[in-house]
A and B are shown apart, each in its own frame.
Chain A
């Protein structure tokens, strides 16, 4: 009797979705039923989340990666991975998932004042009960009551942030200080101190009672709780009355008080959301928030009474920045499907557990993909690096049996490099006991490696088609099922046959737009306080283009190996406009051209704009102190007298993420309905995985990718159960 062979699954890609699918299919409960091979171009896993170690072991990433506290699926799987990995804390400083992440509850948005200066508004979000990835039976954020309670918490957060800033400014005025950036606010960071300051909240106690907000909001809670017993029109009338009365009260005050204005903007938006949920019948629509996905988010809010001031508020711009929601990277075209925007906002603000944001204590490659790589290897997953998928070949229709569905007949790869001795490529390096990914391949493991290094083969570039061979995998012989985990940007190139024959795939590609991004990281020899930024480590959004988001990442410096450690580390990122059209694949100079564009953007930004956040980083009106930058090859910093100009920026790290597979997935109005689910069985041996699929959370992020990977695994194996994919079934 022949032993049943395992089912061969070819997983294409090494990003979050692909790795998740492999992790699910190789669980012990499957008892070896599935044998997985991961095919990855280049030398490292990670996709858009890849990172590497460069000079001085500095971490070099695609951009600023942060995990949100509502990433239930992603945290659950990562926690399981670390548990299975079982690293020894005596020898590895990141042994457990709680070593890998730290809470980041401070979120900032910036806005331009009328006099042209930039104002920052920092909000400290309270802890959410439990930890992300905990079983839902213990603390379940998915209930109407939980949403309402967390909504009240959010209001309290906003009031405290406003009050703290007001206290700081009042103290500054009393003490005759001219600085607008008191650090006193975070002395109120503990709840006990906040309670002590409550008598000072009279001003905002009035705010809470002005226009009868307290009484009316309590009534509103009753109304919401009583729905659908209470007629919708009554609830809408109450909301209208709250809104109109509150607006009359607060717009007068808001003219002269930034803090009240910010709170009012959020109150206005929340009222518009509640009004819209009722008017559009979302609570009763079986499509939930999907029913309004044809609307642009701001358009929908405007329809429901949000003021123009609120729609252009810093918080709204920050949300769009977080999602890179600018079509073609054009800042004049912010576009986000309203339904997903609401779903995402609800999940982000009201279902986070532990902290709103969670930062990684090393590069995302080190924290996420290295542990998964090690666990998957132990489970018997095979890795084929330097394999670039070129074509998914379908079986000819003429050769299909009666009733047989179309299917993948072959997978065609370019082999970018071969491993010496025909062994498996060992991709990780050791950084003081921590397994990490390098920023460049280990050429010593590659056949003809010296030549590949001299000729600077760009293994991760769409425009570098150099190869050492080709390989074709055939169905039945080499694989049974395919999980296609590449980015949506790569689909037209690798699935040209499917796109040409299948109108749904053509629609998915046409509507599933992406945006390129740009990022830079700079290491500085002075700390943030010395540069004029008074706040604790935080992430700030809504700033000026071309780098509207920046994050203080000083916590990563000890992870690196600097001879003289920098005092601060800043990450910047933003969309990269498609002002330069995507070049033909034969244009090998295109990536360098875009990278030069980003370098130029960075220099201009540091000379012209960073002064608003770091006023002491400037030598003159539009002259950045280039000597602040730390060169990883220098043992001694330049002297004050040394001529240091913008050429020094070349020692830092920047990137133009223009590869089709690296482009960020957008959720444009009207687009979600064209997405295809990993569960779709049109091609009965192929499934797709990625944040661009119809995965239940149709926005580009780690959580969507992990959900999609879990769905792809279910498509193959019926596990995990769909009910166990947290948040998949959600309005």
Chain B
């Protein structure tokens, strides 16, 4: 009788999974499973396709629901941006939320612009680490401020922003109790292609950070204006 040899397992090609994202998420065709002879998918059902079709069919409706929800949100946002609502007829809680929405959009706008600029290859607007891009294409901005409290102003504009037609609406604070700064404007300065900021801060204005989006003549955002009123804790007063 032939003596039986002890069998040994072969070493596998590898002993662990591949975790690399770029390797793993390849084309679906290359992940086709070994053929088991089973025909499966949306049409497979012992009851003639009803089960699978109803399951997969509702997915399409589910996607529509999500899309509809997003579009509804965008319509509301657009209405807010266009100021087509009548505040007087809104419930007070909706009013408050709307106000906060505006402020948050303002806060996000600067970062959003940076991101958009990166994506389309446009040079980023100035951050604190890039002082050479501060202000309007490197030109100084003149400021006319009427305030009894210390004020610090920061204006960030896209390099492509045009001098004419720049508009800023009311500057809002995060605290809903603080009234907005409404007496503010931007004017072009023809002599040096700069911009002139005009701002009046009422004497009783609560200290804090106020901000607004700067739009151009076509209504597109092209920068932000931020104003700090009063002394922040631990910092000396200054005007800039």
Nearest CB to that of B10 among chain A residues? A718
Say whether A726 contacts B17, CB under 8 Å: no
Which residues, 238 to 258 on A, are CB-close (under 8 Å) to B?
A: 238, 241-242, 245-246, 248-249, 252-253
Chain B window 1-43, contacts with chain A (Cβ cutoff 8 Å), 1 for yes, 0 for no:
0101111111111111111110111001111111010101110
Known A-B contacts A215-B77, A283-B21, A480-B7; A241 and B107 likewise in contact (beta carbons under 8 Å) = yes
CA distance A289 to B215 in the complex (A): 43
Q: Nearest Cβ distance between residue B231 and chain A, in whole angstroms? A: 23
Contacts of A216 in B (CB 8 A): 108, 112
In the complex, whether B65 has a CB less than 8 A from a CB of chain A is: yes
Say whether A729 contacts B24, CB under 8 Å: yes
Q: Nearest Cβ distance between residue B97 and chain A, in whole angstroms? A: 5
Say whether A677 contacts B16, CB under 8 Å: yes
Q: Nearest Cβ distance between residue B160 and chain A, in whole angstroms? A: 19
CA distance A130 to B74 in the complex (A): 31
Nearest CB to that of B94 among chain A residues? A206
In the complex, whether A612 has a CB less than 8 A from a CB of chain B is: no
Which residues, 628 to 687 on A, are CB-close (under 8 Å) to B?
A: 677, 679-681, 684-685, 687
CA distance A723 to B18 in the complex (A): 10
Q: Tell me how many residue pairs across A and B have CB atoms closer than 8 Å.
A: 254
Say whether B59 contacts A128, CB under 8 Å: yes
Contacts of A156 in B (CB 8 A): 62, 65-66, 69
Q: Nearest Cβ distance between residue A621 and chain B, in whole angstroms? A: 39
Stretch at the interface among B115-123, B151-159, B192-200: B115-123
In the complex, whether A106 has a CB less than 8 A from a CB of chain B is: no
Say whether B115 contacts A79, CB under 8 Å: no
In the complex, whether B105 has a CB less than 8 A from a CB of chain A is: yes
- B6, B19, B45: the one contacting A287 at CB < 8 Å is B19
Known A-B contacts A159-B69, A214-B74; A720 and B108 likewise in contact (beta carbons under 8 Å) = no
CA distance A23 to B15 in the complex (A): 22
Say whether A129 contacts B74, CB under 8 Å: no
CA distance A265 to B174 in the complex (A): 22
Known A-B contacts A480-B7, A694-B16; A160 and B72 likewise in contact (beta carbons under 8 Å) = no
Say whether A677 contacts B15, CB under 8 Å: yes
Chain A window 211-252, contacts with chain B (Cβ cutoff 8 Å), 1 for yes, 0 for no:
110111001001100100111001001100110011011001
Contacts of A194 in B (CB 8 A): 65
In the complex, whether B104 has a CB less than 8 A from a CB of chain A is: yes
CA distance A222 to B28 in the complex (A): 23
CA distance A726 to B45 in the complex (A): 23
Say whether A729 contacts B17, CB under 8 Å: yes
Say whether B40 contacts A134, CB under 8 Å: yes
In the complex, whether A137 has a CB less than 8 A from a CB of chain B is: yes
- B9, B42, B69: the one contacting A208 at CB < 8 Å is B69
Q: Nearest Cβ distance between residue A691 and chain B, in whole angstroms? A: 15
* Chain A residues bordering chain B, tally (CB within 8 A): 110
- A83, A153, A252: the one contacting B38 at CB < 8 Å is A83
Stretch at the interface among B49-57, B132-140, B183-191: B49-57
CA distance A283 to B10 in the complex (A): 33
Contacts of A248 in B (CB 8 A): 100, 104, 174
Which residues, 124 to 182 on A, are CB-close (under 8 Å) to B?
A: 126-131, 133-140, 142-144, 149, 152-153, 155-156, 159-160
In the complex, whether B101 has a CB less than 8 A from a CB of chain A is: yes
- A138, A204, A209, A677: the one contacting B41 at CB < 8 Å is A138
Say whether B42 contacts A130, CB under 8 Å: yes
Known A-B contacts A134-B40, A679-B12; A201 and B20 likewise in contact (beta carbons under 8 Å) = no
Say whether A716 contacts B66, CB under 8 Å: no
Nearest CB to that of A677 among chain B residues? B15
Contacts of B97 in A (CB 8 A): 206, 210, 249, 253
CA distance A287 to B52 in the complex (A): 37
CA distance A212 to B40 in the complex (A): 43
In the complex, whether A476 has a CB less than 8 A from a CB of chain B is: yes
Say whether B17 contacts A249, CB under 8 Å: no
Contacts of A191 in B (CB 8 A): 58, 61-62, 64-65
Contacts of B94 in A (CB 8 A): 206
In the complex, whether A530 has a CB less than 8 A from a CB of chain B is: no
Say whether B69 contacts A715, CB under 8 Å: no
Contacts of B40 in A (CB 8 A): 79, 131, 133-135, 138
In the complex, whether B68 has a CB less than 8 A from a CB of chain A is: yes
- B5, B34, B101, B112: the one contacting A219 at CB < 8 Å is B112
In the complex, whether A714 has a CB less than 8 A from a CB of chain B is: yes
Known A-B contacts A206-B76, A680-B15, A729-B23; A103 and B8 likewise in contact (beta carbons under 8 Å) = no
Contacts of A130 in B (CB 8 A): 41-42, 56
In the complex, whether A348 has a CB less than 8 A from a CB of chain B is: no
Nearest CB to that of A152 among chain B residues? B66
In the complex, whether A5 has a CB less than 8 A from a CB of chain B is: yes
Known A-B contacts A83-B38, A153-B66; A98 and B45 likewise in contact (beta carbons under 8 Å) = yes
CA distance A241 to B109 in the complex (A): 10
Q: Nearest Cβ distance between residue B232 and chain A, in whole angstroms? A: 18
In the complex, whether A579 has a CB less than 8 A from a CB of chain B is: no
Chain B window 64-106, contacts with chain A (Cβ cutoff 8 Å), 1 for yes, 0 for no:
1110111011111100100000000000001001101100110
Q: Nearest Cβ distance between residue B176 and chain A, in whole angstroms? A: 9
Nearest CB to that of B56 among chain A residues? A129
In the complex, whether A581 has a CB less than 8 A from a CB of chain B is: no
In the complex, whether A316 has a CB less than 8 A from a CB of chain B is: no
CA distance A520 to B20 in the complex (A): 43
Say whether B68 contacts A234, CB under 8 Å: no
Say whether B62 contacts A208, CB under 8 Å: no
- A230, A476, A716, A718: the one contacting B115 at CB < 8 Å is A230
Candidate in B28, B44, B118 with the most chain A CB atoms within 10 angstroms: B28
Nearest CB to that of A291 among chain B residues? B19
- B4, B18, B58, B77: the one contacting A476 at CB < 8 Å is B4
Candidate in B25, B58, B118 with the most chain A CB atoms within 10 angstroms: B25
Contacts of B38 in A (CB 8 A): 79-80, 83
Nearest CB to that of A141 among chain B residues? B28
In the complex, whether A89 has a CB less than 8 A from a CB of chain B is: yes
Q: Nearest Cβ distance between residue A516 and chain B, in whole angstroms? A: 30
- A136, A195, A211: the one contacting B68 at CB < 8 Å is A195
Q: Nearest Cβ distance between residue B130 and chain A, in whole angstroms? A: 14
Known A-B contacts A133-B40, A160-B65; A684 and B119 likewise in contact (beta carbons under 8 Å) = no
- A126, A139, A720: the one contacting B58 at CB < 8 Å is A126
Contacts of B18 in A (CB 8 A): 729
Nearest CB to that of A103 among chain B residues? B55
Which residues, 4 to 60 on A, are CB-close (under 8 Å) to B?
A: 5, 7
CA distance A42 to B15 in the complex (A): 33
- B32, B58, B61: the one contacting A135 at CB < 8 Å is B32
Say whether B2 contacts A242, CB under 8 Å: no
- A133, A288, A716: the one contacting B9 at CB < 8 Å is A716
Say whether B52 contacts A131, CB under 8 Å: yes
In the complex, whether A696 has a CB less than 8 A from a CB of chain B is: yes
Known A-B contacts A127-B55, A288-B21; A241 and B108 likewise in contact (beta carbons under 8 Å) = yes
Say whether A142 contacts B31, CB under 8 Å: yes
Say whether B100 contacts A210, CB under 8 Å: yes
Known A-B contacts A283-B21, A286-B20, A680-B15; A198 and B72 likewise in contact (beta carbons under 8 Å) = yes
Nearest CB to that of B116 among chain A residues? A219
Q: List 8 A–B pairs whose Cβ atoms lie within 8 Å, in order of A's numbering.
A: A127-B58, A130-B41, A142-B31, A159-B69, A206-B98, A214-B70, A241-B107, A731-B21
Extra contacts besides A144-B21, A152-B70, A687-B9 (9): CB < 8 Å: A98-B51, A156-B62, A206-B98, A212-B101, A215-B77, A289-B19, A715-B9, A722-B14, A729-B19
Return the 5 tightest CB-CB contacts between A and B, nearest first. A288-B19, A191-B61, A208-B73, A140-B28, A156-B66
- Please list the residues of chain B having a beta carbon within 8 angstroms of any beta carbon in chain A: 2, 4-21, 23-25, 28-34, 36, 38, 40-42, 44-46, 51-52, 55-56, 58-59, 61-66, 68-70, 72-77, 80, 94, 97-98, 100-101, 104-105, 107-108, 111-112, 114-116, 118-119, 174
